[in-house]
């Protein structure tokens, strides 16, 4: 806790002072350009990885970067997606998985999560990725996990498209969907190219996009790389 307090004091002395005018502007309004859905993993910091300033990106973080399919009892993720798209008018939504993901590791290894009932129930939202991954052959456990992380990003993009606010914005040509996988060790990002269903290097293909409008470039459950 002392580290958190020390960090806040440092922010007040330096970070805040360097952005005083920005924070005064943000005190009463926000206009983020993107919604970024990432894992809660402490090693993944969306604003750091994308170099975004306060106010530039709306963020959802949870175990496994999961987006439950829209249902009769929408939860916090659904409400946040709806607000970002329907109220804030974000133009891009990114679902970002990452290497060495604990949630995906638990699924890939078939770990018994009976002592973590909330986690167990939550990870059922990744059942589609689990089923696809189980039907494939992998030479190593690392290869299996790597594929599952990608399959999960594809599965969550599919779930995302069941949300009315997303479907409407796509049909109006106002929204783009992106699927990314961030490698913690190398700092690289692979992005889903919807036209091929393959993940490609975002550095080499900065325009890679999973879905650009309703029915166009729908993500396919392919975990391979270009």
Contact 179, 210 (CB under 8 A): yes
Q: Of 84, 140, 86, 150, which Cα lies nearest the Cα of 109?
A: 140
| 205 and 191 Cβ atoms separated by less than 8 Å | yes
φ, ψ for residue 7, nearest 5 deg: -65, -40
CA-closest candidate to residue 77, choices 14, 160, 8: 160
100 marked as part of a ligand binding site: no
Residue in this structure with the two tokens 């992998």, named with its chain if needed: 138
Torsion angles phi and psi, residue 124, rounded to 5: -65, -20
Instruction: List residues with catalytic annotation.
Output: 39, 41, 43, 98, 101
The response to whether 217 counts as a known ligand-binding position is: no
101 is in an annotated binding site: yes
41 is in an annotated binding site: yes
**Annotated binding-site members for Zn(2+):** 39, 41, 98, 101
């Amino acid at each position: 806790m002392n580290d958190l307090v020390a960090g806040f004091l440092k922010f007040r002395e330096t970070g805040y002072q360097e952005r005083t005018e920005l924070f005064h502007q943000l005190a009463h309004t926000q206009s983020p350009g993107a919604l970024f859905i990432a894992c809660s993993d402490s090693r993944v910091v969306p604003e750091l990885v994308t170099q975004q300033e306060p106010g530039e990106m709306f963020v959802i973080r949870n175990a496994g970067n999961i987006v439950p399919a829209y249902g009769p009892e929408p939860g916090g993720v659904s409400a946040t997606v709806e607000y970002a798209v329907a109220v804030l008018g974000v133009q891009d939504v990114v679902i970002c998985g990452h290497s060495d993901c604990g949630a995906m590791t638990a699924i890939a290894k078939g770990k018994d999560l009976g002592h973590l009932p909330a986690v167990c129930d939550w990870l059922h939202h990744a059942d589609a990725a689990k089923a696809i991954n189980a039907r494939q052959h992998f030479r190593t456990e690392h290869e299996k996990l790597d594929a599952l992380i990608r399959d999960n990003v594809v599965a969550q993009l599919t779930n995302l498209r069941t949300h009315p606010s997303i479907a409407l914005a796509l049909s109006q040509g106002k929204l783009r969907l992106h699927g990314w996988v961030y490698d913690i060790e190398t700092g690289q990002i692979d992005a889903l190219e919807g036209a091929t269903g393959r993940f490609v290097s975002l550095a080499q293909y900065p325009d890679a996009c999973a879905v650009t409008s309703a029915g166009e470039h729908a993500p396919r459950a392919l975990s391979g790389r270009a």
